[in-house]
Amino acid sequence: MDLKTYYANIRAVEATLQGDFIVVVSLATSEGGKAGVASEVPRYVAAKMINDLRARAASPEETALFHQDSEDRRTRIEQEDEARRMRVMVIPASDFRKGKDRS
């Protein structure tokens, strides 16, 4: 393998990619790589994965779906975290009536 050619190919693929982070979709590999898994990676990593035939760049529709799913997951996790932190205070009815009688 000619390393100069290998890295020149990676730079050529990187030049075609837009943005700092790219959504890629994995391809099946002989090492057991699972096809169809979307990930967001830095542009250089995306170029290397595409050059090595481990992934392909996601279509605009796949990218939008990936970002929407990520946002939905983030929102759900934040809501679960807020629910865990919520404090409940139980006040006996007798204490509540005492405060009311004082007015």
Domain edges within the chain: 3-86
What pLDDT score was predicted for residue 90?
Answer: 81
Q: How many residues are listed for the chain in this entry?
A: 103
Residue ranges for the chain with pLDDT beneath 50: 103
- Burial class of residue 39, CB neighbours in 10 A (0-12, 13-18, 19+): middle
Q: pLDDT tens across 44-61, in order?
A: 999 999 999 999 999 999
What pLDDT score was predicted for residue 35?
Answer: 93
What pLDDT score was predicted for residue 86?
Answer: 75
| ∠ Cα 47 50 56 (to 5°) | 120
What single-letter amino acid sits at 93? Answer: A
